[in-house]
Amino acid sequence: MKRFIVLLITAVVILSLTACGRTGQQTPSTTVTPTAPPQTGTGSGSKPYDVKANLRIIWWGSQTRHDYTLAAIDVFEKKYPNITLTAEFTAWDSYWEKLAAMSASKNLPDIIQQDYKYITSYTNNNLIIDLFPYVERGVIDLSNCPEATWSGGIVNDKLVAINLGMNTHCVMIDKDIFDKAGIPIPEDTWTIKEYQEICDKLVAMKDQLGIDYADQSSKNAFNEQIQFAFREKGLWFYNQDGSESFGWDKETGKQIIVELLKREKENIEKKRTAPLAVREENEVNGPESGLIVKGKVAMNSGNWSNQAKSISNAAGKKFVLVALPSETTKKMQYMKPSQFFSVSSNSKYPEQAAFFISEFINNIEMNYELKGERGVPISDKVREALAATFEPDSIDKAVFDYVGRIAPIANDIWKPEPNANAAIIVLYQNMLKNVVDEGMDPEQAFEIFYEQAMIEFEMAK
């Protein structure tokens, strides 16, 4: 893979000549030298909405998102008639090409919907601005937003993006099966030891309960477990400096991963979790086809909270959501930003753009129109207001309540993964299969994984 700087220069040349980009991941196309924010009439006693401004805004998404967002903009414009917005929206596939072309011509919209994997590149190329000054001046209000819900937008000590919705992992529990087994629903602070004890009780009663395993454990669960295993030891799985490398030395990593592999193998052998082949088979058509939908497990760990509604609908029942277990009562899981809004460095009205973003996350009437489509709102007040519109026993309310419980106790999210991440996920999934299905010694499996991972890192540079 070409080095980043080569990609960057190539993107500038191609986009400048043809105004079109390659498919797939797009690199922002030019570096803008930041200047002092324009004076926008926000002197003593004046407010951002006292200034007449037309803001351009761009986002990706479905037609549903477009309709909801336009309705929310209409609410904003009626309340603040001095500020109008010109909207542009497109599908994900063409979105980043369009932004790359705009950045090459220094014509980015004032407000840009951003994704977690791209905010570092846009920050390093000075294409989006630091919003901390606007928070400090009260233009952006984060007072009702727990830090874990917005800290994912910090790059190089700058708040360059505001999270528009939250998502986090969960364990989905079939309360009917737990009640039948006489097992109380665990607390969010439950530990791995407690999880295993509950699984063993369920397995001991599996014929009576009509289940095959205690926990399906989604395919994604191991991806999180390997990250959490390092977090438990105060380490990051990947280096947080943007390099193509692990955040640990080989011997330390070997000890952690071998222990995890042994635990996973034991869980499968004791029917605490479903075999790998069964997990794969039941996810061919998505999580809605999983064992928990069929009543064949009491739990499913590793799903995202925004998947709970579709899985519950498929099963015809509401599941209880609790946090993933950790080695201790301290939570390792994190809040995943669904997407962000950033303010471009070429905006003539950065204060008005920042104010619009603040209203987008805090204005209850706007959020009635947005309907939580971008994820659970980061504002406690907005989340509570939307939750009050749900039926008391609905899965929608359960998801909102769950995310609200986890946000204050969530751990920090890691920086965007390196380029080699996709290949390394395949490698550690293969490592798990080698140990669980092929009977390979965990230490040998680790050595193979590590050697291949070093090659992937080198190729990704």
Mean pLDDT over 287-306 rounds to: 90
The DSSP code sequence of 75-115 is HHHHH-TTEEEEEEEE-HHHHHHHHHHHHHTT---SEEEE-
28: confidence class by pLDDT, cuts 50, 70, 90: low
Structure tokens at 276: 């790998």
In this prediction, residue 411 carries a pLDDT of: 87
Mean pLDDT over 369-398 rounds to: 92
Neighbouring residues of 133: CB distance < 8 A, sequence distance ≥ 6:
none
| 89, β-bridge pairs | 59
Residue 45 has pLDDT above 70, yes or no: no
Distance CA(322)–CA(385), nearest Å, equals 22
In this prediction, residue 331 carries a pLDDT of: 86
Distance CA(103)–CA(346), nearest Å, equals 10
Distance CA(435)–CA(430), nearest Å, equals 9
Residue 22 has pLDDT above 60, yes or no: no
Structure tokens at 318: 């509401």
In this prediction, residue 69 carries a pLDDT of: 96
Helices 250-269, 219-232: axis angle to 10 degrees equals 140
Per the CB < 8 A criterion, the answer to whether 403 and 409 are in contact is no
Mean pLDDT over 269-281 rounds to: 92
In this prediction, residue 322 carries a pLDDT of: 97
Nearest to 159 by CA among 175, 136, 189, 185: 136
Model pTM?
Answer: 0.77
Rounded to the nearest 10°, the torsion over CA 233, 237, 239, 243 is 170
In this prediction, residue 284 carries a pLDDT of: 67
| 206, β-bridge pairs | none
User: Could you tell me what percent of the chain has a pLDDT over 90?
Assistant: 66
Each residue's pLDDT tens digit, 405-420: 998 888 888 888 888 8
In this prediction, residue 121 carries a pLDDT of: 83
User: Could you tell me what percent of the chain has a pLDDT over 70?
Assistant: 89
| 307, β-bridge pairs | none
- For 382, list phi and psi in degrees, rounded to 5: -65, -45
Mean pLDDT over 95-110 rounds to: 94
Mean pLDDT over 307-328 rounds to: 91
In this prediction, residue 86 carries a pLDDT of: 98
Distance CA(191)–CA(312), nearest Å, equals 25
Residue 17 has pLDDT above 60, yes or no: no
Mean pLDDT of the chain: 88
In this prediction, residue 21 carries a pLDDT of: 33
CA 68 vs CA 83, 148, 164, 371: distances in Å: 19, 26, 14, 8
CA 439 to chain centre: 34
Residue 11 has pLDDT above 80, yes or no: no
Domains in the chain, CATH or no CATH each: 51-165+336-405 (3.40.190.10), 168-332+418-457 (3.40.190.10)
Radius of gyration of the chain from its Cα atoms, rounded to whole angstroms: 24
Each residue's pLDDT tens digit, 432-452: 999 999 999 999 999 999 999
In this prediction, residue 285 carries a pLDDT of: 66
Distance CA(270)–CA(197), nearest Å, equals 11
Backbone torsion region of residue 303, taken as left when φ is above 0, otherwise alpha when ψ lies between -120 and 50, otherwise beta: beta
Helices 92-104, 4-18: axis angle to 10 degrees equals 80
Residue 6 has pLDDT above 60, yes or no: no
Report which of residues 161 and 167 the model is more confident about.
161
Nearest to 113 by CA among 39, 105, 102, 124: 102
Structure tokens at 83: 């500020």
Residue 286 has pLDDT above 80, yes or no: no
In this prediction, residue 430 carries a pLDDT of: 96
CA 364 to chain centre: 23
